[in-house]
Amino acid sequence: MAAETKEPVKMTASQLKIKVTNLEDKLEKLKNGAWCYLCDKHKARDNFYMTTDPMSKSGLTPICKDCARKIALKIDKKGIEHEPDKDSVRLALRYLNKPFLESVWDSSIEEVQNLASGKMKSNVWNAYIRQISMGQYNGKTYFDSDGLIPNAPEENSKLETTRKEIVLHDDFKKNKADVIKLLNYDPFEKEDVSDQPFLYSQLLGLLDASEDANEDMMRTASAISVVRGFLQQSKLDDAIAKLMSDISNIERNSATIKSLQDSKNKISSVITSLAQDSCISLRYNKNAKKGENTWTGKIKRIKGLNLRESEVNGFDIDTCRGMRQVQEISDASIMKQLALDESEWSDMVAEMRKTNTTLRREKDAYQEINRILLRENLDLRDTLKEENLLDESQLKNLKDLYSVFGDTDDSSKKEESDDKQ
């Protein structure tokens, strides 16, 4: 069966003129705009930045302003903007094919800080993209950025990926911060970035949590040397394992393997000697029985790191319903055992009256102080939140804090209603 041929639609001269006009308008829009390959939308030219790449024929950046802004401000699925940092700005510039220059970044930081004290609101991204679009940066692309290896974009990309993975690793950042806090300096600042997670984690286990123990420079220097020795041993083990895995050349590599094992043994003896001389190992530690590994010693170490989670919340303990019931049972038992006469009751009531009056006055005074401090705290929180300087994950929810009293009041009312019934 032959395929049906679709006959052309007959149009009047006026209809044909309208269609031609519409096609010309669409063609004009296409000429005066460009496609963003990230959002896959055709937009007008003013929705794109002017490119600094001399090889570009269109004169526009590969992605639109909105997509670049979403990358720089790290806008999530809920549309919430975050403060741009160096990594997010660098990523946005990579898509725009514009250079990242440290001098422009520092200038943008200064500009934002100056604007923060005035009326105009801005952020680092807006300041940077405005400055980098100036004429003196024409002809520069992302490969002209500071910190990139010339003519090796793939190697630089791998290096950047490795550094980001290390920097974003939570354990690495925590261990590094703890070591610096205990020593007041960074002992591995000049070490290779890929070796730093191992070094910080090992050294943290050798440092003492007591306040004055790390002031022994000889012991601290020995601990750092021991950790570096551990790293050298690890690398020698990797080299030996690699040579041992090559079964076909095992005889040829036997001399090299023996040399590596001898080097490892020498490093091991040096580590043992340092551990013994400086009392680093538990076997040689003269202070091992002085409480470092007790519960009190561990709590002391945690408090020394200023971790909020280590603080005992005595308020919640004292005001919880279970503790209140225990206190009531204890008070009732004490009163039964006392067996007081009338004169003793009178003296006790008079003393309680005097004490209650004093406590009520103090309560009213502290309640007013608490009200003022709470108001100032909320004002300060709002100010810090507006300046993006507040880490809300470390703060206590005031609604949860005062819910203890709410539960107590509700339970008291319920008990009273049950008694009436």
> Which helix (H) or strand (E) is 65 found in, with range?
helix 65-72
217 and 243 co-located in one domain: yes
SS3 341: coil
Q: Tell me if 135 is assigned to some domain.
A: yes
32 and 158 co-located in one domain: yes
Q: What is the DSSP letter of 240?
A: H
pLDDT per residue of the chain (421 residues) written in tens, 0 to 9 = 455 555 666 777 777 778 778 877 777 777 777 888 888 888 888 888 988 888 877 788 889 999 999 898 888 878 888 888 888 899 999 999 899 999 899 888 888 877 554 545 578 898 899 888 888 888 888 888 887 655 455 555 655 555 555 545 667 778 888 888 888 888 888 888 888 888 888 888 777 655 455 667 888 888 888 899 999 888 898 888 888 888 888 788 888 888 888 888 999 888 888 888 777 765 555 554 445 555 666 666 666 665 555 555 556 666 667 777 887 888 777 777 776 677 777 777 788 888 888 898 898 888 889 888 888 888 888 888 787 777 776 677 665 655 444 444 444 445 455 555 5
Contact 243, 259 (CB under 8 A): no
**Contact residues for 111 (Cβ-Cβ < 8 A; gap 6+):** 122, 127, 131
Q: Tell me if 180 is assigned to some domain.
A: yes
Q: Return the number of other C-beta atoms located less than 10 Å from residue 36's C-beta.
A: 22
Beta 60-64 vs 48-50: how paired, if at all? antiparallel
Contacts made by residues 264-267, CB under 8 angstroms, sequence distance 24+: 264/233, 264/236, 264/237, 264/240, 267/229, 267/232, 267/233, 267/236
205 and 266 co-located in one domain: yes
Residues paired with 36 in a beta bridge: 41
Read off the tokens for 148: 């990139």
Looking at residue 169, what is its pLDDT? 60
| pTM beyond 0.75, yes or no | no
Q: Tell me if 262 is assigned to some domain.
A: yes
139 and 209 co-located in one domain: no
Looking at residue 281, what is its pLDDT? 65
197 and 294 co-located in one domain: yes
Domain boundary residue, one of 163, 184, 214: 163
Looking at residue 162, what is its pLDDT? 53
126 and 256 co-located in one domain: no
217 and 284 co-located in one domain: yes
131 and 218 co-located in one domain: no
Q: What is the DSSP letter of 59?
A: -
Whole-angstrom distance, CA of residue 107 vs CA of residue 101: 10
107 and 195 co-located in one domain: no
Domain boundary residue, one of 241, 272, 304: 304
Q: Count how many domains the chain has.
A: 3
Looking at residue 308, what is its pLDDT? 56
Rg (CA), the chain: 36
296 and 197 co-located in one domain: yes
238 and 323 co-located in one domain: no
Domain span at 323: 319-344+399-421
- Give Cα 343 to chain centroid, integer Å: 66
Nearest to 79 by CA among 90, 92, 95, 66: 66
Domain boundary residue, one of 105, 133, 163: 163
Whole-angstrom distance, CA of residue 127 vs CA of residue 89: 11
